[in-house]
Structure 1
């Protein structure tokens, strides 16, 4: 009789489903990367990107203006040389 009771208990233990305990922090509604998806973060990120692009464009414009000035001085020098050569050739 004792063997029969222990057999029943063992089979009863096998039938109990295993419970999985999940910590509370994993059951929250937030998913990974939710900070990156929030409106405030995306606005801040866009502002930083816009600022970087603006600075980059300003630098490019400054370089282009410097190149234009350099080319203008080259053109002035060439026109002076051209006019001098014309004067010398007419003499």
Structure 2
């Protein structure tokens, strides 16, 4: 019997690369535009302002807590002074 040898041929690989569309804008020009820059700065400023307001609120709460502690200590100090006299 005759044996048949079949050769498997490798097909050439075709790489599909998306074509870039020509445009009038340079790459990254959106990020450099004035409108985008102003909007981004406004968002950053809003975030910083909100963050600073949160920190101030925490500090005010801590100050009030320390004032209460100080008042209690002053009362105890006055009681101790009255007891010694």
TM-score by length of 2: 0.73
Tell me which residue corresponds to 1:86: 81
Determine the C-alpha separation between the residues in 1 that align with 2:30 and 2:51: 28
> By percentage of residues, which structure has more helix?
1
Return closer, same or farther for 1:24/1:87 CA change in 2, 3 Å cut-off.
Answer: closer
TM-score by length of 1: 0.68
Tell me which residue corresponds to 2:4: none
Tell me which residue corresponds to 1:33: 28
Note the aligned Cα RMSD (angstroms). Answer: 1.5
| Structure 1 gaps, min length 5 | 1-22
Tell me the number of residue pairs that the alignment of Structure 1 and Structure 2 aligns: 67
Question: What are the Cα deviations for residues 36-61 of structure 1, in whole angstroms up to 9, with x where unaligned?
Answer: 00111001000000000000010011
Which stretches of structure 1, 4 residues or more, deviate above 6 A after TM superposition? none
